[in-house]
Structure 1
Amino acid sequence: MDGRLIYLMGPSGSGKDSLIDAAREPLRALGCDVVRRVITRSAESVGEEAVGVTPQEFEQRRSAGDFALSWQANGLSYGIPVQIDQWLQSGRHVLVNGSRGHLAEALQRYPTLLPVLLTVRDDVLRERLFRRGRETLAQIDARLARNALFVAGDAVGDAPVHRLDNSGALADTVARLLAWVRLSAAPDRT
């Protein structure tokens, strides 16, 4: 495959959706498409611009081979449409909103995948989750405790994990992501 898969991951509330929305057009200018995930939650749910389907529809699509990647997390099913393979083969880079828990499996299918871990300070994350209003304080505390248990190393296998702090201004995070994509997704000229 000529394109590179950029696998963005991070805790809920870290700002992945905001980063993706803000970076979408600049990424497109760099030859990088952002894929919409298929999720088993209603289309009216607040959050990312995803395709909402029922659990039955999701399973039908998964069984039909409609997903390049799929996983379950937090009681929901997530799928990345198989059309990304065509984009990658045509030389386009693709950014997906992935799962930290599914990274190893994603690397098996896409060995040149570029993992990006979006991080955020706990105090900032707690405030974002509280403002979002989807969870109780007890659920937020439980989520923060789970996030503390996930400590990504500097690499998964041979793939270095790039950490991107999103505790400050979103524009700064976008600029750092774009710089990293320019550097990391550039063709290998060796």
Structure 2
Amino acid sequence: MEGGEEKPLVIVLHGPSGVGKDSVIDRLRERLGIHRATSSTTRPPRGNEVDGVHYHFLSEPEFRQKVAAGEFAEWASVYGELKGVERREIEPYLEAGQDVIIRTDVQGARTWRRKLEGAIFIFLTAEDREVLRARLIARGTEDPEQLTARLAELEEELADLPNNDYVVINRHGRLEEAVDEIAEIIEREKRNPNRPRARLVA
């Protein structure tokens, strides 16, 4: 690669529920102008969630129609709801030279490892397992059945930790430190001459 040319990146950020992925992404968007690939889902909006900002909220028939038309880069059934990322949230931005960040879960991360070439996988976690459990319970956004499923998924997420390029700890009350670390990773990897240009391969 000549002249230290910077290549647009796709960052795949995942980690246990309640670890602060949205807060980290919001700060990275403010600081770096990185594009967040907005996921589509068939679940109804929660609280102050806005269509097109937090998610693209679709009916199940709409979602399945897009799947049939090949518009999704990745999708899955998660806790009985359909969820995925459309190609339009990734490809046009890479073509324009803009970095993209994808927020996902362990199931999505496994899929993206097959579908994305040149992506950076970052595992975001808390100080330890007990802190993660406490944060998840404190959110209060799941009913008891969903909470049980989320706690079970926590162990699956932690088991995937070694499969990532980087592990970043988001310590309580120290969000900016985690954001600083990820921003440094992004700048370093953009100049990595050995990393393939990010692209969808499947």
CA displacement, residues 27-46 of structure 1 (integer Å, 9 cap, x when unaligned)? 31xxx311211111113456
Q: 1:43 aligns with which of 42, 45, 51?
A: 45
Gaps of 5+ in 2: 1-6, 196-202
TM-score by length of 2: 0.78
Give the conservation status (yes or no) of the 8 Å contact 1:10–1:119.
yes
For 2:15, the equivalent position in structure 1 comes to 10
Quote how far apart the aligned CAs of 1:186 are. 2.8
Identical-pair percentage: 26
Q: Note closer, same or farther for the CA distance 1:125–1:87 as it changes in structure 2 (3 Å cut).
A: same
Q: Check if 1:101 corresponds to 2:107.
A: yes
Q: Distance in 1 between matches of 2:48 and 2:82?
A: 16
Q: For the residues of structure 1 that align with 2:145 and 2:82, how far apart are their CA atoms?
A: 24
Distance, in Å, in 2 between the alignment partners of 1:141 and 1:78 is 20
Alignment of 1:1-150 (within 5 A): 2-28=7-33, 32-45=34-47, 49-83=54-88, 84-120=90-126, 121-136=128-143, 139-140=146-147, 142-150=149-157
Q: Which amino acid aligns with 2:187?
A: R
- Aligned partners of 2:108, 2:9: CA distance in 1, in Å? 18
What corresponds to 2:160 in structure 1? Answer: 152
Are the aligned partners of 1:43 and 1:51 in contact in 2 as well (CA < 8 Å)? no
2:184 and 2:77 map into 1 onto residues whose CA distance is: 31
Q: Structure 1, residues 98-131: CA drift from partner, whole Å, max 9, x if none?
A: 2312333312221211101111233322232223
Residues 4 and 94 in structure 1, CA contact (< 8 A), matched pair in contact too: yes
- Deviation readout 1:38-97 (Å, 9 max, x if unpaired): 111113456681121122211112222222222222222222121211211232211011
Instruction: Specify whether residues 149 and 42 from structure 1 end up closer, same or farther in structure 2 by C-alpha distance, changes over 3 A only.
Output: closer
- Is 64-73 or 43-52 further displaced after alignment? 43-52
Partner of 1:166: 170
Is the CA contact (8 Å cut-off) linking 2:17 and 2:154 kept in structure 1? no
The amino acid of 1:119's aligned partner reads T
Q: Is the 8 A contact 2:106 2:156 kept in 1?
A: no
Unaligned runs of 5+ in 1: none
| 2-structure distance, mates of 1:165, 1:68 | 28
**TM, length-normalised to structure 1:** 0.82
1:124 alignment partner AA: V
2:24–2:179 Cα contact (<8 Å) kept: yes
Report the secondary structure of 1:154's partner residue: helix
Matched pairs, number: 182
